[in-house]
Chains A and B, each alone.
Chain A
């Protein structure tokens, strides 16, 4: 599966570290998403970028900072995280149009993050 790639696949960091997660989509889509998947909880949408503009910030703490330099790349910058931020972070992309047209989201393999 090479449609949506994520790096790194695994990350261990201390609470004072700064790290970044990277997502790249090779599907020609114009919207990208960050989701958080914690144990025993449904997937939670964190951020949405549509045409490189952030259109959704689902009440995410400021220690998570997204960046979308172009429609193919999405970053999640991490700073002073807490142990409860340990989770699987999934990136997704889709092709959305004007009006009411929306399309299916395709996911990357995720980054497993452990905060010590």
Chain B
């Protein structure tokens, strides 16, 4: 079974600064996806960024980028130029690729607060 660990229950950052959220996972699989989702106070779960494990290049989406270290099973999210709208719960998630199981395994989340 896969597990996802987010060791930072809460973090805060000043507007316009950079923050990094940590995520580690445990799996025996070699082919999988990793995701970061954000859940603002509205409770809508929104995809932030996705990484395919077979790709060595780190994924980027505008101000969001990841540091994917496959050997270390680490998948951190960097948010640059933080904005007030980035305040949300951030979830790291794992999905095995292949077969008929499309299960997303989530971490417990990190509550990020962006301060003005």
Which A residues have a C-beta under 8 Å from some C-beta of B? 1, 31, 33, 35, 40-43, 45, 48, 50, 55-56, 58, 88, 90, 92, 94, 96, 99-100, 102, 104-110, 112
Contact = CB atoms under 8 A, between A and B. Distances in A.
A50 B4 CA distance: 24
B62 interface: no
Interface centre among B43, B98, B106 (most CB of A within 10 A): B43
Given A41-B108, A42-B108, A104-B50, A48 B43 contact: no
B35 interface: yes
B43 A109 contact: yes
Given A48-B103, A105-B104, A100 B44 contact: no
Interface in B17-66: 31, 33, 35, 37, 42-47, 50
Given A42-B107, A43-B106, A100 B98 contact: yes
A55 B101 CA distance: 8
Contacts of B35: 104
A31 B102 contact: yes
B13 interface: no
A100 B104 contact: no
B91 interface: yes
Contact of A106 (B4, B47, B97, B106): B47
A46 to B, nearest CB: 11
Nearest to B33: A102
A102 B97 contact: yes
A99 B46 CA distance: 27
Question: Top 6 closest A-B pairs, CB basis?
Answer: A107-B45, A100-B98, A43-B106, A42-B106, A109-B44, A110-B43
5 contacts: A1-B44, A33-B102, A48-B101, A102-B95, A104-B50
Contacts of B106: 42-43
Nearest to B32: A102
Given A43-B91, A102-B97, A88 B43 contact: yes
Contact of B100 (A40, A50, A88): A50
